């Protein structure tokens, strides 16, 4: 349990969720469901019988997953931009619309970190980073597999 300076139950729940570990497996599962990716799509094994088929399929999947990666990365960039804008709006709100005469460090260290909207946006960014890192790993795996199959094919057919 994370010790917080939150006053309401909702603030406590948001802060606890924000600082607790996000279930990476759940985020990955949601990602796979969003794009209807099956375990067969991520089958990286091949042998003499399947190499030609896998070699052709690999190229298709490589481009497909790179496209998904670009989309997911774009969403992450947008979320980060929106987060920065949100921080500016919230900062101005605390600085100029508060009855208290708040200093810059008070706002940045105490008010912004427990703001519900800032916390919620931070959670979204963390989840999106997990999605981007996961698809990036898939793309790198397909690229490496392409080279492995090329080498295997050369050895197999140049005996």
State the chain's mean pLDDT as an integer: 85
**pLDDT, tens only, 134-158:** 999 999 998 888 888 888 878 877 7
Domain ranges of the chain: 64-154
pLDDT of residue 86: 96
Give per-residue pLDDT as tens, 68-80.
Answer: 999 999 999 999 9
Question: Which tens digit of pLDDT belongs to each residue from 92-128?
Answer: 999 998 888 889 889 988 899 889 899 889 989 999 9
DSSP classification of residue 108: I
Joined tokens for residue 112: 């912004």
Within 5-115, where are the H helices? 9-19, 24-34, 51-96, 104-106
User: What's the pLDDT score for residue 149?
Assistant: 83
Alpha-carbon distance of 69 to 64, in angstroms, equals 9
């Amino acid at each position: 349990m994370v010790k917080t300076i939150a006053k309401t139950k909702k603030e406590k729940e948001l802060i606890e969720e924000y600082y607790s570990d996000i279930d990476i497996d759940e985020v990955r599962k949601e990602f796979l469901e969003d794009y209807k990716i099956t375990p067969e799509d991520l089958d990286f094994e091949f042998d003499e019988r399947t190499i030609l088929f896998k070699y052709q399929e690999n190229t298709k999947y490589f481009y497909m997953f790179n496209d998904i990666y670009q989309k997911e990365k774009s969403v992450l960039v947008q979320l980060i931009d929106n987060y920065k804008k949100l921080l500016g709006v919230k900062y101005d709100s605390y600085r100029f619309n508060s009855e208290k005469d708040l200093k810059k460090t008070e706002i940045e260290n105490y008010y912004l970190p427990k703001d519900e909207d800032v916390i919620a946006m931070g959670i979204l960014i963390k989840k999106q980073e997990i999605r981007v890192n996961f698809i990036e790993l898939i793309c790198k795996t397909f690229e490496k597999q392409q080279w492995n199959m090329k080498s295997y094919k050369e050895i197999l057919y140049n005996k």
